[in-house]
Amino acid sequence: MLPHQTLANPCVDFIVTGEGETPIVELLQTIVAKGTAAAAVRDIAAVGSKLDGQLHVNATPAKLPDLEELSPAWHLLPVERYLASGKYFYSSLGSRVNLDRVLGLITSRGCPWRCAYCYNQFASRRAFRGVSAAKISEEVRRLREQHGVSAVVFEDDCFFTDRERALTIVRSLGVPWSASIRANYLASWGEEFIRELEAHHCVELRIGAESGSPRVLKLMAKDITVDHIRRSVELCTTSRHQRASRFHAWRSGRDLGGHAGEPIA
Ligand code: SF4
């Protein structure tokens, strides 16, 4: 997000902006073939370099990788080191669930919403790209089989942006899981939706309520209302399957006194 400032650090020789999978390979290939001082580095889209003491950031965006073709090289990774206990879940309920071998996964990039404080306004420019449900389901099946993964925490910015994709994924999981969901989605999809999540092992829904003030919600372009937040709380706390699902909301910046213009409680 701050390429020039980052590149100006004396410890930094090169930077890659945005999604790095494509430009970093091109950068390394160029360095191997022509050396670190090669002017050719300047021509690589989305790469910043420091040549002859001058900072240069190529502002051409890199080609976005096809997420369908990107997968972690699980066979090369020390998967054991990425597995956590139930404490990985965000809420106290998650940490009380007797689980180990919990793995975090990201199945999409970007978000179509416009929250003013969010890095997505810069990073994804409101475009959402999700890996297909079939690919994620197969990946989780293999992670269960080969590494004994017993629960999944989805760390997607907006997991339910494509509702059908998300539902297809969770229907196939067969293990407890947690994900974030916007309050307006949950409030409008209602009882039937939350029951379906619970029937498919939902342990926790994380909702970025952010503020109880309509004025502040509007200020941050959150596009949710206090009624959406209330309804979401109701759905999670009055559900017939309270054992399986709880509401966990937080206000970003809560430790710093809230958002600009918001009175300190
Ligand atoms: S919904 Fe979440 S991910 Fe999307 S813009 Fe708002 S804060 Fe960012």
User: Measured from the CB, is residue 224 less than 6 Å from ligand 1?
Assistant: no
* Residue 83 covered by a domain: yes
Q: Is residue 265 part of a domain?
A: no
Percent of the chain with pLDDT over 90: 70
Residue 261 is predicted with a pLDDT of 60
Q: What is the pLDDT of residue 92?
A: 64
pTM above 0.85, yes or no: yes
Check pLDDT > 70 for residue 166: yes
- What one-letter code names the amino acid at 136? I
Q: How many domains does the chain have?
A: 2
Q: Alpha-carbon Rg of the chain, whole angstroms?
A: 21
Residue 188 lies in a domain: yes
Distance 142 CA to ligand 1 centre (A): 30
Identify whether the C-beta of residue 223 lies closer than 8 Å to the C-beta of residue 174: no
CATH number for the domain harbouring residue 244? 3.20.20.70
* Whether residues 48 and 72 fall in one domain: no
Could you tell me the distance, in angstroms and rounded to a whole number, from the CA of residue 222 to the centre of ligand 1? 8
**Same domain for 122 and 248?**
yes
Structural domain including 16 reads 3-57
57, 85, 100 — which closes off a domain? 57
Tell me the residue length of the chain. 265
In this prediction, residue 154 has a pLDDT band, given cuts at 50, 70 and 90, of: very high
The DSSP bridge pattern shows strands 129-130 and 108-109 to be antiparallel
172 lies in the same domain as 250:
yes
Determine whether 82 is exposed, middle or buried from the number of CB atoms within 10 Å of its CB (0-12, 13-18, 19+).
Answer: middle
- Expressed in angstroms and rounded, the spacing between residue 117 Cα and the centre of ligand 1 is 9
Q: Give domain status of residue 123, yes or no.
A: yes
